[in-house]
Homo-oligomer: A and B are copies of this chain.
Amino acid sequence: MSSRIGRALGVQIFGESHGPAIGATLDGLPAGLRVDLPALEAFLQRRAAKGGELATGRRETDVPRILSGLKDGVTTGQPITAIFDNTDPHSADYAFLPDSPRPGHADYPAIVKSAGWDDLNGSGHHSGRLTLAYAFAGGLALQFLASRGATVGSHVLRIGGVADTPLDPMQPDMQALFACRTAAVPTLSPQAGERMRQAILAAKEDGDSVGGIAEIAAVGLPAGLGSPFFEGVEALAAAHLFSIPAVKGVEFGAGFAAADLRGSVYNDPYAVAESRVVTEKNDAGGLLGGLTDGMPILVRVAFRPTASISLSQRTVSLSALRETELTVHGRHDPCIVVRALPVAEGALALALCDLWLQAHGDTPTEGKRNV
């Protein structure tokens, strides 16, 4: 506990990988938002294992069954819950648990924390499958932001040592980000994407996995969103992004590279463009001390390689307290970065949407025609 986050916009996720269903409740979205369900489902399909060469063999339709909070496709202002049935679990693949925890997974600490009571099949509640429920909430937040003029996009910046062209911090090419979504590896440079694909396949062939970095941009937000300190955009967005399993690093704007700069180089000077205050460059990634400054928000998220590999690994038998070898079968992604892109977009959107609602409240901006 607690699989819940948010102040003006609450997200609660629930479910286990091999339980009957997983799901999410999103609480706080104003009434009157017309939800584009096909677009939401298409968004979730970006995360789905497409059964191709790069993803797990598990087959789930991943279509949300929305239980509440929408009427005729429009938000009612009440909590929105969707569930996703688990129809294709293979619990037999996990017979080594709870005795032999898998390296890189949460098995061992989960056993200790729960005194053995946690459900570990398919990683249980710790599974990456839960990001489907989380992405459902994120997809709604993205649609809400879009209704207020803000858009979020992402690409794979790095996989297996191969680097994509970074986004232009002053003017991230959102159209290019949207266009590359259908690629096997969404990158700005198709060549980089193809080389990443090769790197993933090579790892897969070796029974191994690779990590990578996602870069996300949000544009169209006004200056002045957020707060200093604990509800700053950075703090809240990082809490969301680090909640995605496998994330080990988050940086905004120039990020870690800023550490090597001097202030005279790093500070973004102000200028006037078309009667608006802008900055001349954007090393801050659109964020000054927790607040948006009106420039594009840039964040990079580092993912460790998928923990599940089919190579033999050293672990321990907890019952015998002695070392042993473990070979994990089952269905796993050799690289989760591609599928994680919509999850990370949604995570950032949830943070921004929460802060937007803190600033503007949940009063609908438009009344229903016949009221």
Give the size of the chain A interface in residues (CB under 8 angstroms): 165
CB neighbours of A267 from chain B (8 A): 103-104, 305, 307, 309, 313
**When A249-B252, A322-B272 are in contact, do A77 and B242 touch as well, CB less than 8 Å?**
no
Tell me, rounded to whole Å, the shortest Cβ–Cβ distance linking A273 to chain B: 10
**Cβ contact within 8 Å between A260 and B158:** yes
Q: Which residue of B lies closest to A365 (CB)?
A: B115
Contact of A76 with B119 in the complex, beta carbons under 8 Å: yes
B residues less than 8 Å from A193 (CB atoms): none
A62 to chain B, nearest CB (A): 16
Q: Per-position contact with B for A249-271: 1 when CB-CB < 8 Å, else 0?
A: 11111111011111111111111
Is the C-beta of A210 less than 8 angstroms from some C-beta in chain B?
yes
Bound CA–CA A103/B262 (angstroms): 13
Question: Who on chain B is nearest to A18 by CB?
Answer: B71
Can you report 10 A-B residue pairs in the complex whose CB atoms are below 8 A from each other?
Answer: A2-B227, A3-B231, A22-B67, A103-B268, A130-B228, A203-B263, A209-B262, A248-B252, A259-B302, A266-B305
Does A367 belong to the interface (CB within 8 Å)?
yes
> Taking CB as reference atom, which chain B residue is nearest A230?
B5
A109 to chain B, nearest CB (A): 4
| Given A79-B125, A116-B368, A258-B305, 20 other A-B residues pairs in contact with their CB atoms under 8 A | A3-B27, A3-B231, A4-B10, A10-B12, A22-B68, A31-B117, A103-B267, A103-B270, A106-B290, A108-B293, A109-B294, A134-B229, A234-B242, A234-B243, A234-B248, A235-B239, A235-B240, A272-B322, A277-B318, A359-B361
Give A277-315 as 1s and 0s: 1 = Cβ < 8 Å from B's Cβ atoms: 101100111001111111000000011111111010111
**Contact (Cβ within 8 A) B67 A224:** no
A39 to B21, CA, bound (A): 24
CA A222 to CA B252, docked complex, whole Å? 31
Is A346 at the interface (CB under 8 A from chain B)? Answer: no
Q: In whole angstroms, what is the CA distance A367 to B322 when docked?
A: 20
A162 to chain B, nearest CB (A): 10
A68 to chain B, nearest CB (A): 4
Is A28 in the interface zone, CB < 8 Å from B? yes
